[in-house]
A and B are shown apart, each in its own frame.
Chain A
Amino acid sequence: MVSYEQLRAAEPDAFDNLANKWSRLAGELSSADSDLGSAARSLEGWSGEAAEAARSHVTDVRSGYSTAAEYIEKIPPALRTLSDAVSEAQKTVDGVVETVDTSGHLRVHSDGTVRAIPGGPGDMRSDDEKQAASDLADELTGKISRALSAVNEADRTAVSALNKATPEAAGLELEATGADHIITPSDIPSDGSPAEVKEWWDGLSPTEQESAVYTHGDVIGGMDGIPVEDRDRANRIRFAEEYTQLTGRRDELAELGPAKYSEEATELEEIDRTLNGLEPIQERLEREPTATRPQAYLLDFATDGNGRGVVATGNPDTADNVVTSVPGTGSNLSNIGGELDRADAILDQAAQTDRGSSNAAITWVGYDAPQDLNEAIRAGYAEDAAGDLRSFQDGLRATHEGQPSNNTLIGHSYGSTVVGHSAQGGHLDVDNAVFIGSPGVGADHVSELDLPDDANVYAGTAENDIIRNTPPFIHDNQPINDDFGAEVFDAGEGTDSWYGTSPDAHSEYWDENSTPLRNLGRIVVGESPSS
């Protein structure tokens, strides 16, 4: 039962917005039906039992989409009619409130009754005037009461119409979500190694796999050992929901125009920050693939805290060369756009270096990075990230199809510290570990790194990179030092400053046609860099 205060607070536009969303969903389902029909035409010449089973299945599913669209279409009119009734009732109540405010002798109570304010000793009104005020109060109470009755009647009518728009009313039944096909959270080997996860995945029936993708996308999408295409599918669905919710909320808050320092203003700032990261990911996922910049895959994302994003440009499960880049201090979801551009730069360079190779570049903003230099002197962030990065690399191995790929792991700045720690306390399965612009990797010598016997360890820092000034007591020996034992490559000079080194030189490794980028491209395709 809608009360007077609830009517006053009601937002009829919300019903209209929802109606539009339902309408759009119905349209999408209707399109799914017709697009499936068009796609299935290519099966017309196919004969045999399997062909019949497939055709029958498509007809059945199409009918499901069509029926769903038909019944969902019943929802918007019910909501729009209700919205109109609420607007009309609010108009009536607003009129009453205005009359009350101008009278000066009336008050609307929280239950919607209007009463005359008893005159005090200073009340100079005549008895007739007091009676008139009392009569007016009764009249206005009646108006509010009728408005409330009308809106409650409209609410009941809407519910009655909505009851006729359920899947049950449409006669639809769940077929793929039955007990025989469902994957429950306890079925998922969340603590398994990537190889065990892959084995589990391969043992599922096709319907169970779909159950996992659609119902447990939040878990499957981030699991190392699940094939890249399936992770991507699960994450895209999750991404669509979160992205739409955040953009919707941002638009709502922006329209509200929150006052500075208010709770809403803080929320708006946080949402904007998150969307700064989600928008470039969205663009990357929708980008038309080219020969050198292939289709992107979303391998993980999270919006809590500093946020995370793991995006592959190119399919690591099928590529010849797979490079994972780990950024350093200050990296978080909101600035992933710049990291994605660096992935493009590496892909372009790798394609120039070896035109016949297929390459995938992964942007791994998959850890809680230090956000400023004070935090960056601590090894804790790298230690916390080490297990996840190792597992991610093991996952790439477990799901790769055909001959093993040439896997390179590039750590830039504090990202190199993360890579270094990942190669300690566990085996880091990469072909090439690259430390670029490194302050130190938590080790004094390459022998302390647990890598495959034939793995290459490369290090390069621009001559003028300010990171060279990092003292060894912070993250131990810098990997470009001779006594570290890495193969040091030419990382260029970089921009200098009046005192020699500069912060600019720390971020120029991906500059087009630069020496360090050329060397990174060589390493990625399995060639040796120039020293």
Chain B
Amino acid sequence: MSGYDVDPDTLVTTGDTFVSLADGAGEAVAEFSGAAAVHAEDNDGFAAAGKVRSLAALWEYHVDDLNKRTAVAGGLLRDAADGYGRMEDAVLDTLPELHSEA
């Protein structure tokens, strides 16, 4: 085990915050989708209207991806409550794989 200088409670609290931030962004995207859906039928004939609908789907997908990655990290840190060593292994097994330059 090579991790020191950190209180497991801090890791748990920070993990909770990460999950909560990820879900907050998830709710922001969901609210955006709900609001955008109200205008789904508007402005027939405008290519921009169709384009903006497809952009919404693309960005929802990508932001969800960021949220998942944030929540995964949060969940792993939260698991520090169950034992630092197990959490450290899980972090090293999981997070590098989710890096955008992996």
Contact = CB atoms under 8 A, between A and B. Distances in A.
B9 to A, nearest CB: 10
Given A57-B99, A175-B102, A237-B23, A210 B48 contact: no
Main secondary structure of the interface of B (DSSP, over half): helix
Contacts of A239: 30
A257 B51 CA distance: 31
A189 B7 CA distance: 38
B22 to A, nearest CB: 8
B94 A205 contact: yes
Given A18-B36, A47-B4, A68-B66, A213 B100 contact: no
A209 to B, nearest CB: 7
A46 B5 contact: yes
A291 B25 CA distance: 28
A162 B69 contact: no
Contacts of A60: 69, 99-101
Given A46-B11, A48-B88, A54-B77, A29 B34 contact: no
Interface residues of A, number: 89
A175 B52 contact: no
Given A206-B90, A214-B26, A47 B68 contact: no
B4 A48 contact: yes
Interface string A206-223: 110111011100000000
Interface stretch (A74-82, A95-103, A259-267, A429-437): A74-82
Contacts of A211: 68
A162 B52 contact: yes
B72 A48 contact: no
Contact of A14 (B2, B43, B101): B43
A53 interface: yes
A63 B70 CA distance: 12
A61 B55 contact: no
Contacts of A35: 21
Contacts of B69: 57, 60-61, 64, 175-176, 210
Interface in A188-243: 205-207, 209-211, 213-215, 233, 236-243
Given A175-B99, A246-B34, 12 more contacts: A14-B43, A39-B18, A50-B87, A64-B65, A155-B47, A162-B52, A207-B97, A241-B30, A244-B32, A244-B34, A248-B38, A252-B38
Interface of B: 1-6, 10-11, 13-14, 17-19, 21-39, 42-49, 51-52, 55, 58-59, 61-73, 75-77, 87-88, 90-92, 94-102
12 contacts: A17-B38, A42-B13, A43-B14, A49-B88, A60-B100, A82-B46, A174-B65, A175-B100, A177-B65, A180-B97, A241-B31, A248-B38
